[in-house]
Structure 1
């Protein structure tokens, strides 16, 4: 791992620790980066747009998959 923080987050895969929660639905996450993207699902905001077709997505990963 390039950074100690990445190792800590990966370690949570094995321990099941999920310390970060969405304040809207209480879904839990291993990394506190994920709730930020997850919270867009509680709004109409879809900040990632496909430059070819204009379809919008909640997460950058969804755009990449598209």
Structure 2
């Protein structure tokens, strides 16, 4: 398919971030109405060791 040449758009990054945050909230058991920030959920689940999707994409 030649997928190595496909451009990675800002919209793709945003969609991956939304999916990542939804998964982390599901793992931690945080509902959307609990008003907990995505950064706080990430710190609780990954203990500050995990990188966000956009950080990983920027590395490659």
* Greater relative CO (CA pairs within 8 A, separation 6+): 2
TM-score by length of 1: 0.25
Larger % of strand: which? 1
